[in-house]
Amino acid sequence: MTAIIGISATQLAEQVPNTISRNGTYVGGDYITAVANSGAAPFVIPVTDTKLITTFVNQIDGLILSGGQDVSPALYGAESEAELGDVSLVRDAFELALLKETLAQKKPVLAICRGAQLLNIAFGGTLHQDTSYIENADLEHMQQAEATQSTHAISIEHGSRLSNILGTTAQVNSFHHQAIDVLGSGLKITARASDGVIEAIEKQGSPFVVGVQWHPELIIETEIGMKRVFQEFTKNAELGAMKQVYNAPAKFKKIATLR
């Protein structure tokens, strides 16, 4: 059975000159390639009416929360600080509801960069609005190097889901200036950079629910372990889909197996 992987989209904020492109919805092509190369079908989920969220989640077997703008501090009850970047309250509200519905349906989640931060907030956590507010955070977390180039190492906790995929160390890229501060309830820190910045979190006792602060979709050609991140995620999505079919009433099984 081919798993259907929802990928949360961002919005085109400004008109592209000399085109009709405005109010567009898009995801980076590397997300789509990573999902397709893992044997799953990518399904882009636009920021739209939250009434459609249950319908979207019913159709997918797993969710990738993609990167993008800063997450608004309003989500965790904080005031904006000087280094806060652009935010989208509409996207924040939609994706938070999308994530919560996916978790309620016990479907796998791979939360990337901004997505990992949103995952933390969903469980009551908070963020540093800029790494300059973190004592001793001296690595370049918003790298100037090419996106496909890894720029720093992370240490991964032994026995974590991530360590079963990557081992206890990995090389990653870095395109964030916000970072996880107070950890959300029920989550576990499973990777850090050498300067102490949190690089990965997982939800304990759940299906695959992993948040990573880097962009694995951009380095799958140079860091072989990143392919395994997507493969393990889609494998969990496939297993969940098969269980749903097995437990479904007979009249729905024939429809489901046509996928």
Range list of β-strands (E), the chain: 4-8, 10-11, 25-26, 41-45, 62-65, 109-112, 127-128, 152-156, 169-172, 179-180, 187-193, 198-203, 209-212
CA torsion sign, 91 to 6 to 118 to 166? Answer: negative
Closest CA to 98 of 148, 59, 142: 59
Measured distance CA(91)–CA(80) in Å, rounded: 17
The one catalytic residue in 215, 223, 232, 238 is: 215
Closest CA to 1 of 41, 33, 36: 41
- DSSP symbol at 70: B
The one catalytic residue in 113, 152, 199, 232 is: 113
Q: Quick check: is 217 catalytic?
A: yes
Give yes or no for a contact between 12 and 22, defined as CB atoms under 8 angstroms apart: yes
Who's near 255: CB < 8 A, 6+ residues apart?
A: none
Q: For 8-166, where are the alpha helices, taking DSSP H only? A: 29-37, 53-59, 89-104, 114-122, 161-166
The one catalytic residue in 202, 217, 223, 238 is: 217
Q: Quick check: is 113 catalytic?
A: yes
CB atoms within 10 A of CB 146: 10
Which residues are part of the catalytic machinery? 113, 215, 217
